[in-house]
Amino acid sequence: MVDMNATEIKLRMSKAIDSFKKDLTTLRVGRASSSMLDQINVNAYGNSMPINQISTISVPEARLLLVSVWDNSLVSITEKSIRESPLGLNPMVEGNVIRIAIPALSEDRRVEITKVAAKYAENAKIAVRNIRRDNIEHTRKLQKNSEISEDQKHRDELLIQDITNEVIRSIDDVLSKKEKEILEN
């Protein structure tokens, strides 16, 4: 019964991995990346808006971000939002362009960032385990209602656990690569 749903389970769990990878792109690793600013919101036009909806973000050099704000009246608000973000960046305003030099990371900061990455990984693993739990409960309910046999329930539970183990290994692999990248720079 779950064999038909195995692809659905894998799909749902892969979304947890995708979300985890997206979270990792927001971490500062010593090199400039336009996705670093994705978590920053700016109070513009009476709403809290993502920074990429009011500006263009470019990476002209490995350690430099340029934020070209489209509306001159939002430059100071955008600069303040960047400065107050947890990224620890020091933006400089030049007209409607905000220059952000990405400083080299200290060893302590690198360790902090790896801890944040590990937290993101744990959140992804929790999401995967919740999907596993939901599917195992569904399988047990089917068996209880005599829709599948005890043997089928056991096979389905093993299949769900195998898929879960595979996805958790993938999360661990992505995390170890990211930790290596953070600690090397």
Q: Are strands 41-44 and 47-50 parallel, antiparallel or unpaired?
A: antiparallel
Question: By the 8 A CB rule, do 9 and 163 touch?
Answer: yes
Q: At residue 53, what are phi and psi to the nearest 5 degrees? A: -95, -5
Q: Is the CA virtual torsion 127, 7, 156, 162 positive or negative?
A: negative
Of 17-26, 133-142, 175-184, give the range with the top mean pLDDT: 133-142
Which domains does the chain possess? 2-25+106-184 (1.10.132.20), 34-101 (3.30.1360.40)
* Res. 18: pLDDT tops 50: yes
Angstrom distance (rounded) from CA 173 to CA 179 = 10
What is the average pLDDT score of the chain? 87
Q: What are phi and psi of 64, to 5 degrees?
A: -145, 135
> Residues 98-150: pLDDT tens digits?
998 887 777 888 888 888 899 999 999 999 999 999 999 999 999 899 888 88
Nearest to 107 by CA among 183, 43, 17: 183
How does strand 55-61 pair with strand 41-44?
unpaired
pLDDT digits (tens, 9 = 90+) for 147-164: 888 899 899 999 999 999
* Residue 94: other Cβ atoms inside 10 A: 9
pTM, to two decimals: 0.69
pLDDT at 172: 95
**Whether pLDDT at 1 is above 70:** no
Q: What is the DSSP letter of 45?
A: T
Contacting residues for 24 by C-beta, under 8 A, at least 6 apart: 117, 120, 174, 178
Query: What is the rounded CA–CA span in Å between residue 92 and residue 155?
Result: 60
